[in-house]
Amino acid sequence: MSYTPETLQLLAPDGTRVVSDATEAYLPYVDALTEQQLREFYRTMRVIRRFDIEAGNLQRQGQLALWIPSLGQEAAQVGSGFAARAHDHIFPAYREHAVGHIRGLDVVQIIKMLRGLTHGGWNPAETGNFHLYTLVIGSQSLHATGYAMGVRFDGLVGTGDPEKDTAVLVYFGDGATSQGDVNEAFVFAQSYQTPQVFFLQNNHWAISVPVRVQSRTPLFHRPRGFGIPSQQIDGNDVLMSYAATAASLDAARAGEGPQFIEALTYRMGAHTTSDDPTKYRDDDELHYWQERDPIARFEAYLRGLGESEAFFTEVAEEAEQFAAEARARTLALEPPSAESMFAHVYSEPHPVMDAQRQALADFEASFEGGA
């Protein structure tokens, strides 16, 4: 489909390692991974896929207003998510459930937003610098670039001290590349040589618009016109996603300026639960990508390395438990109090808010049996 001769890959769809001159520079990153880390990659992909399916079921059962599936994009997200260091900052779009999970975001926070209980406000200082989901397509690319400019102004780039040097990782989709915001972010990122990695998940669709309509050239060619080095990777290959992101983040932290990765992947599910992809895409395309499933590929790789059956059974059970717990906690969620709508309008106490809060309390107390 959209693979090119330049697409970098370390794992073939059958789970065997691909040897190529083009990926030689990435081998140290992969060779340094411990067995434990490889297991963690697999565990996270399985757990998040199972959770994602459960959240979709909850929406179908009337428990959520909407769900945004990540099915099929687990390797792109898990590889890149694990490549970031603890003090790096991550700006997601709205589908990066696996990355949030890796950074310590409680996935029920995402559920709360899509159940209409919050406006999606978690505190990045408590979620491993995983910033807020952004539904306005591409706007997070500007937030990330602004943040990365600040990192540079603070002198946290190229010091050689791994505790200090910081990078910013921003996720966006193929459709977002058509937004002015993303292109403006490229301009500022290259002008200010920001310590930043643009991570494009090309899942081939922007709702019902195929990527071929968005661009006549491969998307990873675009940033080169802005002076940003770029590469295209097989985004369903978790090892490649990890190695390419780790290398790009290292370059960004070292002061080499912004980097760009196009991860070729596929949105196997619907855009959201409000969408019906059977209306606009054919089964052949889905089958093509099912044969390149990121989890099946990595499982085959681990089995080739001699991983035990007990491990896969344990992970399957853990995924079931994780999903069951997310479901139970969702069903136990209480709606927020009406007064909470006044809480975050201003950071300091504000007389107008106080008056409105009081007016609401008086109104509610005016009913028979009111407080």
Q: From CA 70, how far away is CA 77, in angstroms rounded?
A: 9
Q: How far is CA 199 from CA 60, 174, 190, 348, in A?
A: 31, 10, 15, 36
Q: From CA 192, how far away is CA 194, in angstroms rounded?
A: 5
CB 173 within 8 A of CB 202: yes
Count of Cβ atoms closer than 10 Å to residue 27 Cβ? 14
Q: Which CB sits closer to Mg ion, 150 or 277? A: 277
Strand 259-264 relative to strand 230-234, pairing: parallel
Give which of ligand TPP, Mg ion, none residue 271 binds (C-beta under 5 to 8 Å, depending on kind).
ligand TPP
Between residue 198 and residue 237, which ones bind Mg ion under the rule CB under 5 A?
203, 206
Mask for 61-100, x = binds ligand TPP (CB under 6 A): ----------------------------------x-----
Q: From CA 96, how far away is CA 128, in angstroms rounded?
A: 14
Under the binding rule (CB under 6 A), the answer on residue 143 touching ligand TPP is no
Phi-psi sector, 123: left (phi>0), alpha (psi -120 to 50), beta: beta
Q: Considering the complex, what minimum distance in angstroms separates the CB of residue 209 from ligand TPP? A: 7
Mask for 257-296, x = binds ligand TPP (CB under 6 A): ----------x---x-------------------------
Q: Considering the complex, what minimum distance in angstroms separates the CB of residue 173 from ligand TPP? A: 2
Q: Considering the complex, what minimum distance in angstroms separates the CB of residue 76 from ligand TPP? A: 11
Q: Which tokens go with 364?
A: 């509610």
At residue 300, what is the residue type? A
Q: Which CB sits closer to Mg ion, 23 or 230? A: 230
Size of residue set near ligand TPP by CB under 6 A: 14
Mask for 146-175, x = binds Mg ion (CB under 5 A): ---------------------------xx-
Q: Which CB sits closer to ligand TPP, 9 or 203? A: 203
User: What radius of gyration, in Å, describes the C-alpha atoms of the chain?
Assistant: 22
Q: What is the largest CA-CA distance in the chain?
A: 78
Q: Considering the complex, what minimum distance in angstroms separates the CB of residue 9 from ligand TPP? A: 22
Q: Interface with ligand TPP by CB under 6 A: which residues?
A: 95, 135-137, 173-176, 203, 205-207, 267, 271
